[in-house]
Chains A and B, each alone.
Chain A
Amino acid sequence: MDRTMLDLTAYELARKIEARELSAREAAEAANARIDAVEGDINAFVTTTPEIALERADRVDERLKNGGADGVKLWESVPLVVKDVLSTKGTRTTCGSKILEDFTPVYNATALENFGGDLVMVGKANMDEFAMGSSTENSAYGPTRNPWDLDRVPGGSSGGSAAAVAAGEGWWALGTDTGGSVRQPGAFCGMVGLKPTYGRVSRYGLVAFASSLDQIGPMTRDTRDAALLLQAISGHDPNDSTSAKVEVPDYLSTLEDGISGLRVGVVTELMNAEGVESEVKSITEKMARDLEEAGAEVGEASLPHATYGLPAYYIIAPAELSSNLARFDGVRYGKRAEASGVHEMYRRTREEGFGDEAKRRIMLGTYALSSGYYDAYYAQAQKVRTKIIDDFRSAFRDFDVLISPTCPTAAFELGDKVNDPLAMYANDICAVPASLAGVPAISIPGGLSNGLPVGVQLMSDHFTEPTLLRASYAAEKSSDFRFEMKP
Chain B
Amino acid sequence: MAETKEKQTYQAVIGLEFHVHLATRTKMFCGCRVTYGDPPNTHTCPVCLGHPGALPVLNEKAIELGAMAGIALNCEVADHAVFARKNYFYPDLPKGYQISQFDEPICVGGHIDVPTSDGTVRVGITRLHLEEDAAKNVHVGESGRMHGSTGSLIDFNRGGTPLMEIVTEPDIPTPEAARATANQLKAILQAIGVSEADMEKGQLRCDANVSIRNLDGSFGTKTELKNMNSFRFVEKGIAAELERQREIIEERGRIEQATMHYDPNKDEVYSLRSKEEAHDYRYFPEPDLLPLELSREWIEDKKNRLPELPAEMKKRFVESYGLSDYDAGVLTADRDLAAFYEEVAENADPKQSANWISGDLRALLNEEGIEISDSKVGPKHMIELISLVETDTVSRSAARTVLEHVFESGDAPSSIVERDGLAQTGGDELDGVVEAVIADNPDEAERVRGGDKKVVGFLVGQIMKATRGNADGGQARERLLEKLGS
Contacts and interface: CB of A to CB of B under 8 A. Distances in A.
Interface string B79-107: 00000010101010011110000000000
25 contacts: A107-B51, A204-B54, A204-B55, A208-B288, A211-B287, A239-B57, A240-B55, A242-B55, A242-B289, A322-B282, A323-B87, A323-B96, A323-B282, A326-B95, A329-B91, A331-B91, A332-B49, A342-B91, A369-B282, A369-B283, A369-B284, A370-B282, A374-B282, A374-B284, A378-B284
A206 interface: yes
Interface in A93-116: 93, 95, 100, 103, 105-107, 109
B57 A323 contact: no
A238 B284 CA distance: 24
Interface string B141-162: 0000010000010100000000
A241 B99 CA distance: 14
Interface in A320-358: 320, 322-323, 325-329, 331-333, 342-343, 346
Contacts of B289: 241-242
Given A212-B287, A323-B85, A106 B51 contact: yes
B135 to A, nearest CB: 10
Interface in B423-453: none
B43 to A, nearest CB: 15
B89 A329 contact: yes
B58 A241 contact: yes
B146 to A, nearest CB: 8
Contacts of B220: none
Contacts, number: 102
Interface in B228-260: none
A87 interface: yes
Interface string A374-386: 1000100000000
Interface of A: 86-87, 93, 95, 100, 103, 105-107, 109, 203-208, 210-212, 238-242, 319-320, 322-323, 325-329, 331-333, 342-343, 346, 366, 369-371, 374, 378
B27 to A, nearest CB: 14
Given A211-B287, A323-B97, A204 B282 contact: no
A373 B97 CA distance: 19
Interface size class on chain B is: 20 to 34
B93 to A, nearest CB: 9
A115 to B, nearest CB: 16
A325 B95 CA distance: 8
Interface in B186-238: none
Interface of B: 46, 49-58, 85, 87, 89, 91, 94-97, 146, 152, 154, 280, 282-284, 287-290
B142 to A, nearest CB: 18
B57 A238 contact: yes
Nearest to A330: B91
Among A106, A212, A239, chain B packs the most CB atoms within 10 A around the CB of A239
Contacts of A242: 55, 287-290
A331 to B, nearest CB: 5
Given A107-B46, A326-B97, A208 B53 contact: yes
A208 B282 CA distance: 18
A333 B154 CA distance: 13
Nearest to A203: B55
Contacts of A240: 55, 57
Nearest to B91: A331
Contacts of B85: 323
B388 to A, nearest CB: 60
Contact of B50 (A204, A327, A366): A327
B220 to A, nearest CB: 24
A107 B55 CA distance: 12
B95 A241 contact: no
Contacts of B288: 208, 211, 241-242
A159 B155 CA distance: 40
Contact of B284 (A208, A323, A327): A323
A82 to B, nearest CB: 13
Given A320-B284, A371-B282, 5 more contacts: A323-B284, A326-B95, A327-B50, A327-B52, A374-B282
Contact of A206 (B53, B154, B280): B53
Given A212-B287, A331-B154, A371-B280, A109 B53 contact: yes
A101 B50 CA distance: 18
B53 A204 contact: yes
A87 B284 contact: no
Nearest to B90: A342
Given A212-B287, A319-B284, A95 B55 contact: no
A200 to B, nearest CB: 15
Contacts of B94: 327, 331-332
Contacts of A328: 52
B260 to A, nearest CB: 23
Contacts of A320: 284, 287
B99 to A, nearest CB: 11
B280 A241 contact: no
Contacts of A346: 89
A211 B287 CA distance: 6
Given A323-B96, A369-B282, A369-B284, A93 B55 contact: no
A179 to B, nearest CB: 15
Nearest to B47: A239
* A-B pairs, 5 with minimum CB distance: A326-B96, A211-B287, A369-B282, A212-B287, A207-B52
A240 B288 CA distance: 8
A296 to B, nearest CB: 35
Contacts of B96: 323, 325-327, 329
Among B146, B152, B280, chain A packs the most CB atoms within 10 A around the CB of B280
A371 B283 CA distance: 9
B56 A327 contact: no
A207 B53 contact: yes
A371 B281 CA distance: 8
A241 B57 contact: yes
A87 B53 contact: yes
A87 B289 CA distance: 20
Among A325, A327, A343, chain B packs the most CB atoms within 10 A around the CB of A327
B55 A239 contact: yes
Given A323-B96, A342-B152, A370 B280 contact: yes
A241 B46 contact: no
A135 B321 CA distance: 80
A199 B146 CA distance: 43
Among B56, B91, B95, B284, chain A packs the most CB atoms within 10 A around the CB of B284
Nearest to B30: A239
A110 B350 CA distance: 62
A441 to B, nearest CB: 20
A324 to B, nearest CB: 9
Among A103, A207, A329, A343, chain B packs the most CB atoms within 10 A around the CB of A329
B138 to A, nearest CB: 14
Contacts of B55: 203-204, 239-242
A353 B166 CA distance: 39
Contacts of A208: 52-53, 288
B289 to A, nearest CB: 5
A328 B290 CA distance: 25
A100 B51 CA distance: 11
B51 A333 contact: yes
Contacts of A93: 52
A370 B280 CA distance: 7
B440 to A, nearest CB: 82
A327 B95 contact: yes
